[in-house]
Amino acid sequence: MINAFVYDNAHLQRLSDTSSVDTLRSASWIDLQNATTDEIERVKAATGLKVPSEAEVSEIETSSRLASRDGTLYLSMPMIRFADDGPRTTSAGFVVSPALSISVRFAPSRIFDTYAEHIRCRSAPDAIGAHIFVGLLEAIIDRQADALEQVRGDLDSLSHGIFAMGTNQEGGRKAEDATLRRTLGQLGHIGVLISHVRDTRVGAARIVPYVEAMASEWMPKELMSRLAILRLDIASVSDFDTHLNDKLQFLLDATLGFISIAQNNVMKVMAIASVVGIPPVLIAGIYGMNFKNIPEYDWAYGYIWGWGLIIVTTLIPLGVFRWRKWI
């Protein structure tokens, strides 16, 4: 699909017809989403620029993600795609020339769609393709910051729930086990999201200084200033990402610690039960032997005597454990 935009009367307007090569030549921003071979060839004919394939924008080498050919920048970076089963990584490519910006993506993205609607409402009489590209980078970093802020709120809620288990015993061990399992799953989901945000941030952190260096001759001065600010924003997002990752690790360790405590409690109960059960079993075994010379068999109160010994030998270990504060 081709989404093409052109500046008209100081505003960005969407081109209603993108089937014509001549119409595409007037565009300042061409956004390709899952473009077909015919659409890619049409854009190539209209712009004279190479459109990278999905395999090319998915390369992880810096030399493949950042390139300059004949004054045109070919850039790519990983992006986050939110699927039904959680966040996934997708790649986006950018072709930036002095007058034109081409974005290439292979999955729907609210960032691009929201940015297109936002910029259409703004007046930008001198805007060119480079303005579009820098604005997209700003929107991407802003979205990453919003995602991390949401992660912080989720971690705060999980932190409250985790440490509340240390004082609130309502629901029993079964409810606690379900809570710990659910918490581990949520922490894992958050960890995956933070990892995807980090990949996007690292990609943007590579692009910004490269653009500053390679496009310094034709990039407008106001955009160079915005790139400098964007570099600071990326650094602040990086610091916040590190803080959240440390907090995530702390909560993961705390959750695993509670799981270990729960397991130790189970083992302690089993150990106490085995120790407490040894004397009664021994006594029952002795009086269960079929020998005629056991004198207690002839006592009138032999049965009561046996039960008394079993009860007393059961209570004594429990009393010792209680006195030593083991239970």
What does 239-293 look like in DSSP terms, one character per residue?
HHHHHHHHHHHHHHHHHHHHHHHHHHHHHHHHHHHHHHHHHHHHHHHHHTS--TT
Candidate from 68-72, 96-100, 293-297 with smallest mean pLDDT: 293-297
The amino acid occupying position 325 is K
Q: Which domains occur in the chain, in start order? A: 2-262 (3.30.460.20), 263-323 (1.20.58)
CA dist 324 → 12, 49, 117, 321 (Å): 78, 81, 71, 5
Looking at mean pLDDT, say which of 52-56, 90-94, 293-297 comes out highest: 90-94
pLDDT at 223 over 80: yes
For the beta carbon of residue 122, count every other beta carbon within 10 angstroms. 11
Q: Is pLDDT larger for residue 40 or for residue 87?
A: 40
Q: Cα separation of 203 and 60, whole Å? A: 10
Q: What is the pLDDT of residue 232?
A: 92
> Higher pLDDT residue, 172 or 221?
221
Judge whether 96 and 130 are in contact, CB under 8 Å. Answer: yes
Q: At what angle do helices 172-214 and 129-164 cross, to 10 degrees?
A: 160
In angstroms, the CA 95 to CA 227 distance is: 17
Instruction: Name which residue leads in pLDDT, 108 or 198.
Output: 198
Check the CA dihedral 25-29-33-34 and report its sign: positive
From its phi and psi, is residue 65 left (phi > 0), alpha (psi between -120 and 50) or beta?
alpha
Cα separation, 30 vs 189, whole angstroms: 34
Per-residue pLDDT at 249: 92
CA–CA separation, 81 and 63 (whole Å): 24
- Residue percentage of the chain with pLDDT more than 90: 7
- Reported as a single tens digit per residue, the pLDDT across 177-190 is 788 888 888 898 88
CB 49 within 8 A of CB 99: no
Under 8 Å CB-to-CB from 45, ≥6 apart: which residues?
A: 21
Task: Say whether pLDDT at 8 is over 80.
Answer: no
Residue 277: half-sphere exposure toward Cβ, Cα within 13 Å? 6
Task: Give the pLDDT confidence score for residue 294 in this predicted structure.
Answer: 80
Coil, strand, or helix at residue 196?
helix
